[in-house]
Amino acid sequence: MALFYVKMNVLAEKRKEVRQTINSLAAHVKKEQGCVDSGFYQNAADESDILFLTTWTDRSALDAYLKSVHFTVLLGIRSFLNKEPTIRICEDESFHRSGG
């Protein structure tokens, strides 16, 4: 499994636009081959903090996403941020998603 996330701090006046864009992206990314899950989360204490999170079956599926138009759109959000986003990839054979 591979986990990919982007943590963003969005300009207050662009929050709605960014949420709409990421919500649409998450729906499209879920349909990509190898995507297990995709979604975004907003910090209840600071609405400017948004986390875009995707889970992939393996690194090759994630790498294909990183070359896609959807990832390019995600990078385009940078102009709406207060600072550069934190982008991380976590890989581990023992990584399992616990549900509930």
Domains and CATH numbers, the chain: 2-91 (3.30.70.100)
- How many angstroms separate the CA atoms of 98 and 100, rounded? 7
Could you report the per-residue pLDDT of 72-99, keeping only the tens digit for each?
Answer: 999 999 999 999 999 999 987 655 544 4
pLDDT of residue 94: 52
pLDDT of residue 93: 60
- Averaged pLDDT, 3-32: 94
Could you report the per-residue pLDDT of 19-72, keeping only the tens digit for each?
Answer: 999 999 999 999 999 999 999 999 999 999 999 999 999 999 999 999 999 999
Which of 64, 76, 33, 67 lies closest to 52 in space, CA to CA? 76
Alpha carbon of 44 to those of 48, 77, 96: distances in Å? 9, 21, 26
Q: What is the 8-class DSSP label of residue 15?
A: H
